[in-house]
A and B are shown apart, each in its own frame.
Chain A
Amino acid sequence: MRTSQWSAAALAAGLVVTLAACTPASESGNGSSETESLSMLIASSSPAESGYYEDAAARFTEETGTEVEVIIANDLIQQLGQGFAGNSAPDVFYLPWDQFQTYAAQGFLEPYAADLANAGEFLPALQEQFSYQDEFYCAPKDFSTLGLQINTDAWAAAGLTDADVPTTWDDLSAVAATLTTDGQVGLSMGREYARVGVFMNQAGGTLIDNGEVTADSAENAEGLAYVQSLVDEGSLAFPPDLESGWGGEAFGLGRAAMVIEGPWINGAMQNDFPDREFISVELPAGPAGPSTFSFATCWGMPIDSPTRDASMQFIEFLTSDDEQLAAAAAFGVIPSTTSGSAAYAEQFPENAAFVAGVDYAVSPVSFAGAAAVLTEFNSELETFGAANPASILASLQTNLQAAFDSAQ
Chain B
Amino acid sequence: MARAAQRTRRGGGIRRGEARAGYLFIAPAVIITVVFLAIPVLLAFWVSVSDWNGFQSPLNPRVNFVGLENYAAITVEDGLDQRNFGRSIRNNFYYVLLVVPLQTALSLFLAVQVNRAVLKGRGFFRTAFYFPSVTSSVAIVIVFQFLFLGTGAVNAVLRAIGIQGPNWFNDPTGIFHGFVSIFGLTTPPPFLADGGMLGVSWWEWLSGPSVAMMVLIFLAVFTTSGTFMLLFLAALQSIGAEIEEAALMDGAGPFRKFFSITLPMLKPTLFTVLTLGLIGSWQVFDQIYILGGGAPGGTLMTPAYLLYESSFIDLQWGQGAAIAFILFVFIILLTLLQRWILRDRAPKKRGVAQTAVKGGVS
A-to-B contact residues, CB < 8 Å: 1-5, 8-9, 11-12, 15-16, 19, 77-78, 81-82, 84-85, 87, 102-103, 106-108, 240-241, 243, 369, 371-373, 375-376, 379-380, 382-383, 399, 402-403
Contact = CB atoms under 8 A, between A and B. Distances in A.
A87 B170 CA distance: 39
Given A12-B24, A12-B27, A241-B167, A87 B294 contact: no
A5 B25 CA distance: 8
Interface string B143-180: 00000011100000000000000010010100000000
A243 B57 contact: no
A1 B295 contact: no
Given A15-B28, A399-B80, A403-B80, A1 B297 contact: no
Contact of B17 (A1, A78, A103, A373): A1
A87 B57 contact: yes
Contact of B151 (A243, A371, A380): A243
Contacts of B258: none
Contacts of A5: 17, 20-21, 24
A383 B172 contact: yes
Contact of B297 (A9, A82, A373, A382): A382
Interface residues of B, number: 43
Contacts of B25: 4, 8
29 contacts: A1-B8, A5-B21, A5-B24, A8-B21, A8-B27, A11-B28, A12-B28, A15-B28, A15-B31, A19-B35, A78-B312, A81-B313, A85-B57, A102-B315, A103-B315, A240-B167, A241-B150, A243-B149, A243-B150, A243-B151, A369-B314, A371-B313, A372-B80, A376-B84, A376-B298, A379-B294, A379-B295, A379-B296, A403-B80
B101 interface: no
Given A12-B31, A383-B172, A402 B80 contact: yes
Contacts of B297: 379-380, 382-383
Secondary structure at the A interface, as helix, strand, loop or mixed, is: helix
Q: Which 6 A-B pairs have the closest CB atoms?
A: A8-B24, A240-B170, A81-B312, A379-B298, A106-B53, A382-B297
B48 to A, nearest CB: 15
Given A19-B35, A78-B312, 13 more contacts: A1-B4, A8-B27, A8-B28, A11-B28, A85-B57, A85-B58, A102-B315, A240-B170, A372-B313, A382-B172, A382-B296, A399-B79, A402-B80
Nearest to B21: A5
A9 B23 CA distance: 10
A102 B314 contact: yes
A382 B314 CA distance: 22
B55 interface: yes
A102 B32 CA distance: 36
A19 B27 CA distance: 14
B56 interface: yes
B54 interface: yes
Nearest to B296: A382
A5 B23 CA distance: 10
